[in-house]
Amino acid sequence: MKNLNIEYLKYDNTKFKFKELLKNFYGCDLTQIHKKFNIGQQSYDVTAGIDSLSIVEDTYKNVINSEIFQDVWLSFINSVIKLYFKNDKILIQKLPSINIIPSGCEIKYVHKIVDGMNLHLDCHQPFYHPMFEENFWLPMTETDELNDLYYLNNTKKIRVDAKLDEIFRFGNDVVHGNIVKNNSKNTRISLDFKALLVSDYDENLISDRIIIKRGSEYKQNEWYSTKHYYMEH
Ligand SMILES: [Fe+2]
């Protein structure tokens, strides 16, 4: 049987202080932001690719887009991600995505929920990511079995259980997702992004099919290019 395309990479999470920058913004323990910001037990459907959680938009605007965060991001790419790709030329998301799953909330990412989980492949609806990308997922909060990311090994669901100084890297052929309702007492926050070797970019694997990103229509091969999504590094 083919081995699953996953691995855990270590990084210095005090030097690359994503977590600290988030904590400074919220002014509280990251697992407890649902209390501080009074996020009640709500259901969100984000299958159309538009973030309907205002805290995600606020964090993106005020933290991820800030100059200091971008500095940390660039040095993280240069020291950690480039090393993973053996210093060859890469394409990488311009800035990472942030995912916030407040305690008590239900967040639906995919159209078909299986066993209460958002299990999916990123190449499928609604993401339509190219198969040649690699996924990098970094927990910003400690996770537990109720709010963690899971992946499928055959039909078995396995908890990612990455530590705060780890990056879970997985191929686009790995089915993954979290439990739709976060029944943990803790909010889960994670960063994630895609990257690939420039030499792995294959225009035969993408097309001009229309995809919806942040509420607008794009051709898949235009969105997943340096015009919108990636930067070359
Ligand atoms: Fe995904």
pLDDT tops 80 at residue 137? yes
Per-residue confidence band for 43, with pLDDT thresholds at 50, 70 and 90 = confident
Average pLDDT over residues 47-64: 84
137-143: average pLDDT: 98
Taking 80 as the threshold, does the pLDDT of residue 54 lie above it? yes
Count CB atoms within 10 A of the CB of residue 169.
Answer: 19
| % of the chain at pLDDT higher than 70 | 97
For residues 48 and 29, give the distance between their C-alpha atoms in angstroms, rounded to a whole number. 30
Residue 49 pLDDT > 80: no
- In this prediction, residue 50 has a pLDDT band, given cuts at 50, 70 and 90, of low
Q: What is the distance between the alpha carbons of residues 196 and 64, in angstroms, rounded to a whole number?
A: 21
In order of their start, the domains of the chain are 6-232 (2.60.120)
| 149 CA → ligand 1 middle, Å | 10
Residue 40 Cα to ligand 1 middle (Å): 25
**175 C-alpha vs ligand 1 centroid, how far in Å?**
8
For residues 84-95, give the mean pLDDT. Answer: 98
Instruction: Output the CA 6–ligand 1 centroid distance in Å.
Output: 14
Average pLDDT of span 11-35: 97
If one compares 214 and 116, the residue with the highest pLDDT of the two is: 116
> From ligand 1's centre to the CA of 176, what distance in Å?
6
CA distances from 170 to 3, 20, 110 (A): 12, 25, 19
Sorted by sequence, the CB contacts under 8 Å of residue 114 that are 6+ apart come out as: none
- The whole-number pLDDT of residue 213 equals 82
Q: How far is the CA of 83 from the centre of ligand 1 (A)?
A: 24
Top-confidence range, 92-96, 152-156, 209-213: 92-96
180 touches 43 (CB < 8 A): no
Closest to 188 measured CA to CA, from 29, 25, 10: 29
